[in-house]
Amino acid sequence: MAVLIVGILFLAMGLCAGAVMVLAPLGVAHLEPNGVLWLLFPFFTLVGYGLCAANARDSIRPLTLGASWTLLVLAVAAAIGILLDATGMRAASGTLSLWFVLGVAGLAGTMGAAAFARRR
């Protein structure tokens, strides 16, 4: 049970790190992400999910889909930020972190959602 709780906490911290990496360049929140978030976002997200999956007894589906949807929302928000920057609404601190979140969250979210896609 302790491993599951730690996994959920790590997953939540990873998703929060990704949210900061998206919100800061858009100027939505007065946050200053530093280089550590570039490591913490994928590390906490993947390790947290791995700990949850390793300890899952009944079904991991709700956790997987919830984490996947959250990652896909982060990826879409990053893509919107990149699009806004490309149209002339300049991001406050550049778009490099948006591209990173788009790649990591888009790939991980798509893989997680596709793992439980319905097949006919």
pLDDT digits (tens, 9 = 90+) for 64-101: 788 889 999 999 999 999 998 888 877 667 888 999 99
Report yes or no: 95 and 82 within 8 Å, Cβ to Cβ.
yes
pLDDT digits (tens, 9 = 90+) for 30-45: 787 788 999 999 999 9
CA angle in degrees (0–180, nearest 5) for 46-71-93: 100
Report yes or no: 65 and 112 within 8 Å, Cβ to Cβ.
yes
**Residue 120 belongs to some domain of the structure:** no
**Residue 79 belongs to some domain of the structure:** yes
**Residue 10 belongs to some domain of the structure:** yes
**Residue 103 belongs to some domain of the structure:** yes
pLDDT digits (tens, 9 = 90+) for 41-61: 999 999 988 888 777 666 777
The domain of 95 spans 2-114
**Residue 119 belongs to some domain of the structure:** no
> pLDDT class for 28, splitting at 50, 70, 90?
confident
The predicted model scores a pTM of 0.86
Number of folded domains in the chain?
1
Choice between 89 and 15, residue whose per-residue pLDDT is larger: 15
Alpha-helix runs per DSSP H in the chain: 2-26, 35-54, 61-86, 96-114
Which residues, 6 or more positions from 60, have their beta carbon under 8 angstroms from its beta carbon? 52, 53
Which residues, 6 or more positions from 4, have their beta carbon under 8 angstroms from its beta carbon? 51, 52, 55, 56
**Residue 14 belongs to some domain of the structure:** yes
